[in-house]
């Protein structure tokens, strides 16, 4: 994006009609930090706006946009996906700003992180962010599945999640693709799942959990009284199966992938993998039972979650449950005040520390429940266009909106929409 384009867009954002704008999409168009600061300054009066800054080099020229977030001059819904920080200190500044921000309720940071895996300082700041932020309702801080080491925060994320234990505002948390299973101890995550009173939806698929991890997660969810969505993935089960297979082959002195096993060892391997699948399915059944129980609790309905946030949640069984309860029209809270006192007053029914330390392998069984499989995607699709688009004729499923899109992708066009030939160069 060049200066002329930024200047033209800034003039539009200064118009009185800007307050009807609902989506400003300036993703993947070379937006520098100075440009982002300029645009955010123009939208500060429209806190209901959704702003997408995905895939831009926001460290170039200036990082004053981070100061705007710290000073509560940020929109209500902000997307910062795939921001590749080159300086760890700038990522730390962003975490500190988000910790104290009072305007952002929806935040997506898919694939955004420091130059390398989280160190102790990054983990500490993430912990404080989770613990002290009292405004966020929806947070997607997943890693990016298309990359390897630089897309994951690993063990640093596992320890940092403990900060959510007493968080009372976050309702939806997505933390996929961080290889949390690499941490030997996931007690912090389990403690959050067992004791947090505000979380209603948690998605931590594709984190390479071991069988022991998965069993502890099942125990923790059995103690929780408010989570109504916890999607499961075949990828996590398949990872465990392949890991157990590799360990068995190695124990037989056959480290090569194509190494042949004796007939007796082949039979032992088949039985082992069958046991692994069965034990995993048993724990999955326990999780589904706990989630179903929470959905039947009257205190968990209606959901005090905005439809706009719910639309971005991937859990087909949850949609079926919502429709069975009367449809999406009953979900929206009538006021901005969220009363969770009922949840906060209910302590876990069992001692978490004792339960997690005494885990044993379950008996064999079967499971007919469907595992949801879906490759990870960023929060918005990429179409590769560089046009400004204004929509105002056809209402969406949830509300009537206007939107601007610049850069990596644009919203679907209706026949009556106006398209302006203002191109980024």
**Has residue 336 got a pLDDT over 90?**
no
Structure tokens at 232: 């499961």
* 41, 104, 107, 233, 306 from 399: Cα distances, Å: 26, 20, 20, 32, 12
Which residue, 209, 190, 193, 210, is CA-closest to 201?
193
Pairwise CA distance, residues 166 & 170, whole Å: 10
> How many domains, the chain?
1
Which pLDDT score, from 0 to 100, does residue 403 have? 61
Structure tokens at 135: 């405004």
Pairwise CA distance, residues 214 & 237, whole Å: 9
* 21, 166, 286 from 202: Cα distances, Å: 30, 15, 16
Mean pLDDT of 142-150: 64
In the chain, % of residues over pLDDT 90:
52
The pTM of the full predicted model, rounded to 2 decimals, is 0.79
Which pLDDT score, from 0 to 100, does residue 182 have? 79
259-312 residue pLDDT tens: 678 888 889 999 999 999 999 999 999 999 999 999 999 999 998 899 889 999
Which pLDDT score, from 0 to 100, does residue 262 have? 85
Say which residue, 146 or 393, is predicted with more confidence.
Answer: 146
Cα 21 vs. chain centroid, distance in angstroms? 25
Can you give the residue range of the structural domain that contains 389?
A: 3-423
The CATH number covering residue 378 comes to 3.80.10.10
Report the range of poorest mean pLDDT among 15-24, 39-48, 237-246, 345-354: 345-354
Pairwise CA distance, residues 96 & 70, whole Å: 8
157-182 residue pLDDT tens: 878 999 999 899 999 999 998 888 87
Q: What is the average pLDDT value for the chain, to the nearest integer?
A: 79
Pairwise CA distance, residues 16 & 66, whole Å: 26
CB 263 within 8 A of CB 346: no
Report the range of poorest mean pLDDT among 10-24, 106-120, 167-181, 375-389: 375-389
Which residue, 321, 300, 310, is CA-closest to 138?
310
């Amino acid at each position: 994006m060049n200066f002329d384009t930024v200047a033209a867009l800034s003039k539009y954002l200064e118009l009185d009609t800007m307050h009807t704008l609902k989506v400003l999409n300036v993703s993947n168009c070379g937006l520098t930090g100075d440009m982002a600061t300029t645009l955010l300054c123009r939208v500060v009066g429209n806190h209901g706006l959704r702003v997408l800054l995905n895939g831009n080099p926001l460290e170039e020229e200036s990082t004053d946009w981070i100061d705007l977030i710290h000073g509560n001059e940020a929109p209500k819904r902000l997307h910062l996906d795939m921001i590749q920080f080159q300086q760890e200190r700038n990522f730390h500044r962003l975490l500190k700003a988000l910790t104290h921000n009072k305007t952002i309720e929806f935040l997506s940071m898919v694939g955004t992180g420091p130059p390398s895996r989280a160190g102790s300082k990054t983990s500490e700041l993430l912990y404080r962010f989770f613990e002290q932020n009292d405004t966020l309702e929806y947070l997607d801080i997943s890693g990016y599945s298309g990359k390897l080491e630089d897309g994951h925060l690993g063990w640093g994320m596992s320890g940092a999640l403990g900060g959510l234990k007493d968080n009372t505002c976050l309702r939806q948390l997505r933390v996929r693709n961080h290889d949390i299973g690499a941490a030997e101890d996931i007690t912090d995550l389990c403690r959050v799942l067992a004791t947090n009173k505000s979380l209603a939806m948690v998605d931590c698929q594709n984190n390479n959990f071991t069988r022991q991890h998965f069993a502890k997660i099942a125990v923790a969810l059995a103690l929780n009284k408010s989570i109504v969505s916890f999607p499961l993935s075949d990828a996590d089960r398949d990872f465990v199966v392949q890991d157990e297979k590799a360990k068995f082959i190695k124990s037989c002195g056959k480290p090569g992938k194509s190494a042949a096993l004796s007939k007796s060892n082949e039979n032992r391997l088949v039985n082992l993998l069958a046991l692994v699948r069965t034990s995993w399915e048993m724990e999955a059944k326990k999780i589904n039972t706990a989630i179903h129980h929470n959905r039947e609790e009257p205190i968990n309905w209606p959901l005090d979650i905005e439809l706009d946030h719910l639309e971005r949640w991937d859990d087909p069984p949850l949609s079926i449950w919502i429709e069975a309860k009367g449809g999406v029209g009953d979900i929206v809270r009538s006021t901005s005040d969220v009363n969770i006192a009922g949840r906060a007053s209910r302590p876990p029914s069992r001692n978490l520390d004792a339960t997690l330390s005494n885990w044993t392998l379950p008996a064999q069984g079967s499971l007919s429940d469907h595992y949801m499989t879906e490759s990870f995607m960023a929060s918005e699709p990429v179409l590769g266009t560089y046009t400004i688009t204004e929509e105002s004729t056809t209402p969406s499923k949830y509300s009537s909106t206007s939107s601007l899109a610049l850069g990596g992708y644009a919203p679907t066009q209706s026949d009556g929409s106006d398209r302006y030939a203002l191109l980024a160069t």
